[in-house]
Amino acid sequence: MSFFGPKVLLLLKRQSLEIYHQNSDNPLIIKFSQTAVRHLVIVNSDELIKILLEGFKSSNLTKQQAVLALSDHIVFESLIPTENSEISQKQIAKFYHDVPLEEIHIGKKLITLKGSVLALAVNREIFEKVIETAGEFDWKIKAVVPMTLFSKLGEGEQLSQEQVNQILGADKSFKEANFLEESVLAREADIEGENSNQDSGDKPKSNTIFTIVVALFLLSLIIGSLFFFKIISIPINLPWANSQLEKTSNLIKQASDSARTEISSGTQSADIKESTVSAEDKEAIKIHVLNGSEIAGQAGNIKEELVGLGYTNVITGNIENSEASASSITYTSSLESSVKEEISELMDSLIGETDKIDGVLSEFMVIITLGKLAQPIE
Protein backbone atom coordinates (compact mmCIF):
# COMPACT_ATOMS: atom_id res chain seq x y z
CA MET A 1 0.00 0.00 0.00
CA SER A 2 1.30 3.44 -0.93
CA PHE A 3 2.37 5.72 1.90
CA PHE A 4 0.14 8.42 0.45
CA GLY A 5 -2.75 6.03 -0.26
CA PRO A 6 -6.04 5.70 1.63
CA LYS A 7 -5.75 4.87 5.35
CA VAL A 8 -9.43 4.21 6.09
CA LEU A 9 -11.80 1.52 4.82
CA LEU A 10 -15.58 1.94 4.98
CA LEU A 11 -17.59 -1.28 4.74
CA LEU A 12 -21.26 -0.78 3.84
CA LYS A 13 -23.58 -3.61 4.90
CA ARG A 14 -27.32 -4.14 4.82
CA GLN A 15 -28.04 -2.38 8.11
CA SER A 16 -24.71 -0.80 9.10
CA LEU A 17 -21.56 1.05 8.07
CA GLU A 18 -18.23 -0.10 9.56
CA ILE A 19 -15.21 2.23 9.69
CA TYR A 20 -11.80 0.49 9.74
CA HIS A 21 -8.69 2.60 10.37
CA GLN A 22 -5.32 1.27 9.33
CA ASN A 23 -3.90 1.61 12.85
CA SER A 24 -6.92 0.26 14.76
CA ASP A 25 -7.96 -3.35 15.36
CA ASN A 26 -11.62 -2.64 16.18
CA PRO A 27 -13.96 -0.93 13.71
CA LEU A 28 -16.45 1.81 14.53
CA ILE A 29 -19.92 0.44 13.70
CA ILE A 30 -22.70 2.83 12.65
CA LYS A 31 -26.00 0.95 12.78
CA PHE A 32 -28.97 1.91 10.59
CA SER A 33 -32.50 1.78 11.95
CA GLN A 34 -35.27 -0.07 10.12
CA THR A 35 -37.09 3.24 9.78
CA ALA A 36 -34.12 4.70 7.87
CA VAL A 37 -33.09 1.79 5.61
CA ARG A 38 -35.10 -1.35 4.89
CA HIS A 39 -34.68 -4.01 2.21
CA LEU A 40 -31.79 -2.13 0.55
CA VAL A 41 -33.99 0.95 0.08
CA ILE A 42 -33.79 4.30 1.89
CA VAL A 43 -37.08 4.77 3.75
CA ASN A 44 -36.22 8.05 5.50
CA SER A 45 -33.35 10.02 3.95
CA ASP A 46 -33.18 12.67 6.70
CA GLU A 47 -32.95 10.02 9.42
CA LEU A 48 -30.20 8.15 7.57
CA ILE A 49 -28.11 11.32 7.14
CA LYS A 50 -28.55 12.14 10.84
CA ILE A 51 -27.31 8.66 11.82
CA LEU A 52 -24.30 8.96 9.49
CA LEU A 53 -23.39 12.45 10.73
CA GLU A 54 -23.40 11.31 14.34
CA GLY A 55 -21.30 8.25 13.44
CA PHE A 56 -18.63 10.17 11.51
CA LYS A 57 -18.49 12.78 14.25
CA SER A 58 -17.85 10.12 16.90
CA SER A 59 -14.94 8.70 14.86
CA ASN A 60 -12.92 11.90 15.51
CA LEU A 61 -11.37 11.52 12.05
CA THR A 62 -11.18 14.40 9.56
CA LYS A 63 -9.58 14.95 6.16
CA GLN A 64 -9.27 11.24 5.46
CA GLN A 65 -8.74 9.46 2.16
CA ALA A 66 -10.84 6.31 2.17
CA VAL A 67 -12.17 3.36 0.15
CA LEU A 68 -15.82 2.31 0.40
CA ALA A 69 -16.38 -1.47 0.09
CA LEU A 70 -19.85 -2.92 -0.56
CA SER A 71 -20.85 -6.10 1.28
CA ASP A 72 -22.03 -9.09 -0.76
CA HIS A 73 -25.40 -8.76 1.00
CA ILE A 74 -26.23 -5.48 -0.77
CA VAL A 75 -24.84 -6.26 -4.25
CA PHE A 76 -26.76 -8.16 -6.93
CA GLU A 77 -24.51 -10.09 -9.31
CA SER A 78 -24.66 -12.41 -12.31
CA LEU A 79 -21.88 -14.18 -14.26
CA ILE A 80 -22.68 -13.99 -17.98
CA PRO A 81 -20.78 -15.90 -20.76
CA THR A 82 -19.48 -13.74 -23.62
CA GLU A 83 -19.07 -16.28 -26.44
CA ASN A 84 -21.85 -14.55 -28.38
CA SER A 85 -21.68 -10.76 -28.11
CA GLU A 86 -25.31 -10.14 -29.12
CA ILE A 87 -26.70 -12.70 -26.68
CA SER A 88 -24.50 -11.52 -23.81
CA GLN A 89 -25.61 -7.90 -24.35
CA LYS A 90 -29.24 -8.98 -24.11
CA GLN A 91 -28.55 -11.03 -20.97
CA ILE A 92 -26.79 -8.07 -19.35
CA ALA A 93 -29.71 -5.77 -20.20
CA LYS A 94 -32.18 -8.33 -18.80
CA PHE A 95 -30.14 -8.70 -15.57
CA TYR A 96 -30.25 -4.96 -14.87
CA HIS A 97 -33.92 -4.81 -15.87
CA ASP A 98 -34.82 -7.55 -13.35
CA VAL A 99 -32.98 -5.98 -10.38
CA PRO A 100 -35.77 -5.16 -7.84
CA LEU A 101 -34.75 -1.51 -7.46
CA GLU A 102 -35.89 1.71 -9.10
CA GLU A 103 -33.94 2.24 -12.33
CA ILE A 104 -32.77 5.74 -11.38
CA HIS A 105 -31.08 4.40 -8.24
CA ILE A 106 -29.27 1.36 -9.72
CA GLY A 107 -25.47 1.60 -9.77
CA LYS A 108 -24.10 -0.65 -12.52
CA LYS A 109 -20.67 -2.19 -13.06
CA LEU A 110 -19.35 -4.85 -15.40
CA ILE A 111 -16.05 -6.62 -14.75
CA THR A 112 -14.53 -8.42 -17.73
CA LEU A 113 -13.24 -11.93 -17.00
CA LYS A 114 -11.88 -14.68 -19.24
CA GLY A 115 -14.80 -15.88 -21.36
CA SER A 116 -17.40 -14.09 -19.26
CA VAL A 117 -18.41 -10.85 -17.65
CA LEU A 118 -19.48 -10.25 -14.03
CA ALA A 119 -22.51 -7.96 -13.92
CA LEU A 120 -22.98 -6.08 -10.63
CA ALA A 121 -25.80 -3.86 -9.40
CA VAL A 122 -26.31 -1.90 -6.17
CA ASN A 123 -28.59 0.79 -4.78
CA ARG A 124 -26.41 3.78 -5.66
CA GLU A 125 -28.55 6.08 -3.52
CA ILE A 126 -27.27 4.52 -0.26
CA PHE A 127 -23.53 4.75 -0.92
CA GLU A 128 -23.99 8.26 -2.33
CA LYS A 129 -25.46 9.31 1.03
CA VAL A 130 -22.38 7.86 2.76
CA ILE A 131 -20.06 9.78 0.41
CA GLU A 132 -22.09 12.97 0.85
CA THR A 133 -21.88 12.72 4.65
CA ALA A 134 -18.16 11.86 4.59
CA GLY A 135 -17.57 15.03 2.58
CA GLU A 136 -18.95 17.07 5.47
CA PHE A 137 -15.85 15.98 7.44
CA ASP A 138 -13.43 16.61 4.53
CA TRP A 139 -13.20 12.92 3.65
CA LYS A 140 -12.35 11.94 0.08
CA ILE A 141 -13.70 8.59 -1.12
CA LYS A 142 -11.21 7.25 -3.67
CA ALA A 143 -13.28 4.30 -4.87
CA VAL A 144 -16.45 2.29 -4.26
CA VAL A 145 -15.74 -1.42 -4.84
CA PRO A 146 -17.62 -4.72 -4.25
CA MET A 147 -16.34 -7.09 -1.54
CA THR A 148 -16.92 -10.02 -3.91
CA LEU A 149 -13.51 -9.25 -5.48
CA PHE A 150 -11.70 -9.92 -2.22
CA SER A 151 -13.49 -12.38 0.09
CA LYS A 152 -16.89 -13.54 1.22
CA LEU A 153 -17.98 -11.96 4.47
CA GLY A 154 -21.02 -12.77 6.61
CA GLU A 155 -23.35 -10.00 7.72
CA GLY A 156 -22.17 -10.32 11.32
CA GLU A 157 -18.47 -10.89 10.58
CA GLN A 158 -15.74 -8.25 10.73
CA LEU A 159 -12.63 -7.74 8.63
CA SER A 160 -9.18 -8.57 9.91
CA GLN A 161 -6.39 -6.00 9.70
CA GLU A 162 -4.79 -8.09 6.94
CA GLN A 163 -8.01 -7.95 4.87
CA VAL A 164 -8.28 -4.21 5.43
CA ASN A 165 -4.72 -3.66 4.17
CA GLN A 166 -5.39 -5.93 1.17
CA ILE A 167 -8.41 -3.90 0.08
CA LEU A 168 -6.77 -0.52 0.67
CA GLY A 169 -3.81 -1.57 -1.46
CA ALA A 170 -5.79 -2.98 -4.39
CA ASP A 171 -5.18 -0.10 -6.82
CA LYS A 172 -5.97 -2.28 -9.85
CA SER A 173 -9.43 -3.13 -8.49
CA PHE A 174 -10.11 0.57 -7.95
CA LYS A 175 -9.73 1.08 -11.71
CA GLU A 176 -11.68 -1.98 -12.91
CA ALA A 177 -14.53 -2.22 -10.41
CA ASN A 178 -15.05 1.33 -9.16
CA PHE A 179 -18.78 2.18 -9.04
CA LEU A 180 -17.82 5.86 -9.16
CA GLU A 181 -16.76 5.40 -12.78
CA GLU A 182 -19.32 4.61 -15.47
CA SER A 183 -19.19 1.15 -17.01
CA VAL A 184 -19.02 1.37 -20.81
CA LEU A 185 -20.35 -2.16 -21.26
CA ALA A 186 -23.28 -1.49 -18.94
CA ARG A 187 -24.11 1.68 -20.87
CA GLU A 188 -24.04 -0.25 -24.17
CA ALA A 189 -26.33 -2.90 -22.68
CA ASP A 190 -28.79 -0.20 -21.65
CA ILE A 191 -28.76 1.25 -25.19
CA GLU A 192 -29.33 -2.23 -26.64
CA GLY A 193 -32.32 -2.70 -24.35
CA GLU A 194 -33.76 0.70 -25.26
CA ASN A 195 -33.37 0.06 -29.00
CA SER A 196 -35.10 -3.30 -28.61
CA ASN A 197 -38.03 -1.67 -26.85
CA GLN A 198 -38.28 1.02 -29.51
CA ASP A 199 -38.23 -1.53 -32.36
CA SER A 200 -41.07 -3.50 -30.79
CA GLY A 201 -43.26 -0.44 -30.18
CA ASP A 202 -46.43 0.25 -32.17
CA LYS A 203 -46.46 3.06 -34.76
CA PRO A 204 -48.87 5.97 -34.10
CA LYS A 205 -52.31 5.52 -35.59
CA SER A 206 -54.54 8.23 -37.06
CA ASN A 207 -57.40 9.38 -34.87
CA THR A 208 -60.63 8.77 -36.82
CA ILE A 209 -62.86 10.39 -34.21
CA PHE A 210 -60.81 13.60 -34.23
CA THR A 211 -61.09 13.82 -38.04
CA ILE A 212 -64.89 13.40 -37.93
CA VAL A 213 -65.28 16.05 -35.22
CA VAL A 214 -63.21 18.57 -37.23
CA ALA A 215 -65.21 17.86 -40.40
CA LEU A 216 -68.49 18.35 -38.53
CA PHE A 217 -67.25 21.64 -37.09
CA LEU A 218 -66.33 23.01 -40.54
CA LEU A 219 -69.60 21.79 -42.03
CA SER A 220 -71.56 23.46 -39.22
CA LEU A 221 -69.83 26.78 -39.96
CA ILE A 222 -70.82 26.57 -43.64
CA ILE A 223 -74.43 25.63 -42.92
CA GLY A 224 -74.69 28.27 -40.20
CA SER A 225 -73.54 30.89 -42.68
CA LEU A 226 -76.18 29.78 -45.17
CA PHE A 227 -78.92 30.02 -42.55
CA PHE A 228 -77.70 33.43 -41.49
CA PHE A 229 -77.62 34.62 -45.09
CA LYS A 230 -81.13 33.30 -45.82
CA ILE A 231 -82.83 34.67 -42.71
CA ILE A 232 -81.19 38.08 -42.49
CA SER A 233 -80.17 39.12 -46.00
CA ILE A 234 -82.78 37.39 -48.24
CA PRO A 235 -86.19 37.59 -46.58
CA ILE A 236 -87.89 36.17 -49.69
CA ASN A 237 -88.78 32.51 -50.24
CA LEU A 238 -86.44 30.80 -52.72
CA PRO A 239 -87.57 27.21 -53.49
CA TRP A 240 -84.17 26.13 -54.80
CA ALA A 241 -82.51 27.46 -51.63
CA ASN A 242 -85.02 25.68 -49.38
CA SER A 243 -84.44 22.44 -51.25
CA GLN A 244 -80.69 22.77 -50.96
CA LEU A 245 -80.91 23.59 -47.25
CA GLU A 246 -83.10 20.55 -46.66
CA LYS A 247 -80.55 18.30 -48.36
CA THR A 248 -77.74 19.88 -46.39
CA SER A 249 -79.68 19.47 -43.15
CA ASN A 250 -80.17 15.76 -43.88
CA LEU A 251 -76.45 15.40 -44.54
CA ILE A 252 -75.66 17.06 -41.22
CA LYS A 253 -78.05 14.73 -39.37
CA GLN A 254 -76.52 11.64 -41.02
CA ALA A 255 -72.98 12.82 -40.25
CA SER A 256 -73.93 13.61 -36.65
CA ASP A 257 -75.50 10.18 -36.15
CA SER A 258 -72.39 8.55 -37.64
CA ALA A 259 -70.10 10.63 -35.45
CA ARG A 260 -72.10 9.77 -32.32
CA THR A 261 -71.81 6.07 -33.20
CA GLU A 262 -68.03 6.35 -33.76
CA ILE A 263 -67.51 8.35 -30.56
CA SER A 264 -69.66 5.96 -28.54
CA SER A 265 -67.74 2.97 -29.93
CA GLY A 266 -64.41 4.70 -29.28
CA THR A 267 -65.41 5.54 -25.72
CA GLN A 268 -66.35 1.93 -25.03
CA SER A 269 -62.99 0.75 -26.43
CA ALA A 270 -61.14 3.28 -24.28
CA ASP A 271 -63.05 2.14 -21.19
CA ILE A 272 -62.12 -1.47 -21.90
CA LYS A 273 -58.45 -0.53 -22.36
CA GLU A 274 -58.32 1.52 -19.15
CA SER A 275 -59.78 -1.34 -17.13
CA THR A 276 -57.22 -3.87 -18.43
CA VAL A 277 -55.37 -3.87 -15.10
CA SER A 278 -58.25 -4.89 -12.86
CA ALA A 279 -59.18 -7.49 -10.32
CA GLU A 280 -61.06 -9.43 -13.03
CA ASP A 281 -58.22 -9.44 -15.56
CA LYS A 282 -55.57 -11.00 -13.34
CA GLU A 283 -53.55 -12.47 -16.19
CA ALA A 284 -52.27 -8.96 -17.05
CA ILE A 285 -50.78 -8.45 -13.59
CA LYS A 286 -47.08 -9.41 -13.73
CA ILE A 287 -45.70 -10.56 -10.37
CA HIS A 288 -42.07 -11.25 -9.33
CA VAL A 289 -41.50 -13.49 -6.29
CA LEU A 290 -37.96 -13.33 -4.85
CA ASN A 291 -36.80 -15.91 -2.31
CA GLY A 292 -34.43 -14.46 0.29
CA SER A 293 -35.35 -16.90 3.04
CA GLU A 294 -32.48 -19.36 2.29
CA ILE A 295 -35.13 -22.14 2.23
CA ALA A 296 -35.31 -23.68 -1.24
CA GLY A 297 -38.63 -23.81 -3.08
CA GLN A 298 -40.46 -21.09 -1.15
CA ALA A 299 -40.91 -18.78 -4.15
CA GLY A 300 -42.42 -21.68 -6.12
CA ASN A 301 -44.90 -22.40 -3.32
CA ILE A 302 -46.01 -18.76 -3.30
CA LYS A 303 -46.43 -18.92 -7.09
CA GLU A 304 -48.75 -21.94 -6.78
CA GLU A 305 -50.94 -20.05 -4.31
CA LEU A 306 -51.09 -16.99 -6.61
CA VAL A 307 -51.94 -19.11 -9.64
CA GLY A 308 -54.74 -20.64 -7.58
CA LEU A 309 -56.22 -17.15 -7.24
CA GLY A 310 -55.96 -16.55 -11.00
CA TYR A 311 -52.64 -14.67 -11.15
CA THR A 312 -50.92 -16.75 -13.84
CA ASN A 313 -48.25 -14.23 -14.89
CA VAL A 314 -45.81 -15.01 -12.04
CA ILE A 315 -42.00 -15.19 -12.25
CA THR A 316 -39.84 -16.59 -9.43
CA GLY A 317 -36.20 -16.02 -8.53
CA ASN A 318 -33.69 -15.81 -5.69
CA ILE A 319 -31.89 -12.90 -4.08
CA GLU A 320 -28.28 -13.72 -4.97
CA ASN A 321 -25.82 -13.84 -2.07
CA SER A 322 -28.36 -12.20 0.20
CA GLU A 323 -30.84 -13.08 2.90
CA ALA A 324 -33.71 -10.67 3.40
CA SER A 325 -34.31 -9.88 7.06
CA ALA A 326 -38.07 -9.40 6.62
CA SER A 327 -40.67 -10.16 3.98
CA SER A 328 -42.27 -7.36 1.97
CA ILE A 329 -44.69 -6.67 -0.86
CA THR A 330 -44.09 -3.75 -3.22
CA TYR A 331 -47.05 -2.64 -5.37
CA THR A 332 -46.98 -0.27 -8.30
CA SER A 333 -48.99 2.80 -7.28
CA SER A 334 -51.50 2.41 -10.16
CA LEU A 335 -52.63 -1.07 -9.10
CA GLU A 336 -56.25 -1.40 -7.97
CA SER A 337 -56.85 -1.60 -4.22
CA SER A 338 -58.90 -4.80 -4.57
CA VAL A 339 -55.88 -6.59 -6.09
CA LYS A 340 -53.57 -5.28 -3.35
CA GLU A 341 -55.98 -6.44 -0.65
CA GLU A 342 -56.32 -9.93 -2.11
CA ILE A 343 -52.56 -10.49 -2.47
CA SER A 344 -51.87 -8.96 0.96
CA GLU A 345 -54.44 -11.23 2.62
CA LEU A 346 -52.91 -14.28 0.91
CA MET A 347 -49.37 -13.44 2.02
CA ASP A 348 -50.44 -12.57 5.57
CA SER A 349 -52.21 -15.93 5.83
CA LEU A 350 -49.13 -17.81 4.57
CA ILE A 351 -46.25 -16.11 6.40
CA GLY A 352 -47.80 -13.61 8.79
CA GLU A 353 -47.94 -9.85 8.52
CA THR A 354 -45.62 -8.40 5.86
CA ASP A 355 -44.47 -4.89 4.94
CA LYS A 356 -46.60 -3.30 2.20
CA ILE A 357 -44.95 -0.64 0.06
CA ASP A 358 -46.36 1.48 -2.79
CA GLY A 359 -43.76 2.53 -5.35
CA VAL A 360 -42.94 3.03 -9.03
CA LEU A 361 -42.08 -0.29 -10.71
CA SER A 362 -40.93 -0.81 -14.28
CA GLU A 363 -41.50 -4.35 -15.58
CA PHE A 364 -43.46 -5.87 -12.69
CA MET A 365 -46.63 -4.63 -11.00
CA VAL A 366 -46.01 -6.57 -7.78
CA ILE A 367 -42.70 -7.66 -6.22
CA ILE A 368 -42.89 -10.11 -3.31
CA THR A 369 -39.65 -10.51 -1.31
CA LEU A 370 -39.50 -13.45 1.10
CA GLY A 371 -37.30 -12.86 4.15
CA LYS A 372 -36.62 -15.03 7.17
CA LEU A 373 -39.53 -17.42 7.73
CA ALA A 374 -40.73 -18.85 11.05
CA GLN A 375 -41.55 -22.05 9.20
CA PRO A 376 -41.47 -23.22 5.56
CA ILE A 377 -44.48 -22.61 3.35
CA GLU A 378 -46.09 -25.94 2.54
CB 52 within 8 A of CB 108: no
Domain total of the chain: 3
Residue 111 lies in a domain: no
What CATH code is carried by the domain that includes residue 313?
3.30.70.2390
The verdict on 333 and 270 lying in the same domain is: no
Res 173: pLDDT: 72
d(CA 125, CA 275) in angstroms, rounded, equals 35
The verdict on 21 and 65 lying in the same domain is: yes
Residue 330 lies in a domain: yes
pLDDT of 278 > 70? The answer is no
d(CA 277, CA 284) in angstroms, rounded, equals 6
Highest mean pLDDT among 14-23, 150-159, 188-197: 14-23
- 203-212 pLDDT, tens per residue? 444 456 777 8
Q: pLDDT averaged over the chain?
A: 78
The verdict on 122 and 58 lying in the same domain is: yes
Residue 377 lies in a domain: no
The verdict on 268 and 289 lying in the same domain is: no
d(CA 5, CA 67) in angstroms, rounded, equals 10
How would residue 53 be classed by pLDDT, with cut points 50, 70 and 90?
A: very high
Res 244: pLDDT: 53
Name which residue leads in pLDDT, 192 or 162: 162
- 305-333 pLDDT, tens per residue? 998 898 888 888 888 655 566 788 998 88
Stretch 92-98: mean pLDDT, rounded? 91
Element spanning 304, H or E = helix 298-308
* Among candidate residues 38, 183, 190, the one with its CA nearest the CA of residue 120: 183
Residue 268 lies in a domain: yes
Res 251: pLDDT: 52
- 2-46 pLDDT, tens per residue? 445 788 999 999 899 999 987 777 899 999 998 999 888 899 999
Assessment of whether the complete model's pTM goes beyond 0.75: no
The verdict on 123 and 158 lying in the same domain is: yes
Using the 8-state DSSP alphabet, how is residue 32 labeled?
Answer: P
The verdict on 145 and 293 lying in the same domain is: no
**SS percent in the chain: helix, strand, coil, step 5:** 45, 20, 35
The verdict on 260 and 327 lying in the same domain is: no
The verdict on 41 and 145 lying in the same domain is: yes
The verdict on 258 and 136 lying in the same domain is: no
What is the chain's length? Answer: 378
Task: Report CA-CA distances (Å) from 9 to 12, 15, 139, 140.
Answer: 10, 17, 12, 11
Domain that holds residue 352: 282-370
d(CA 151, CA 134) in angstroms, rounded, equals 25
Residue 43 lies in a domain: yes
The verdict on 244 and 340 lying in the same domain is: no
Query: Above pLDDT 70, what percent of the chain?
Result: 74
The verdict on 247 and 146 lying in the same domain is: no
The verdict on 127 and 260 lying in the same domain is: no
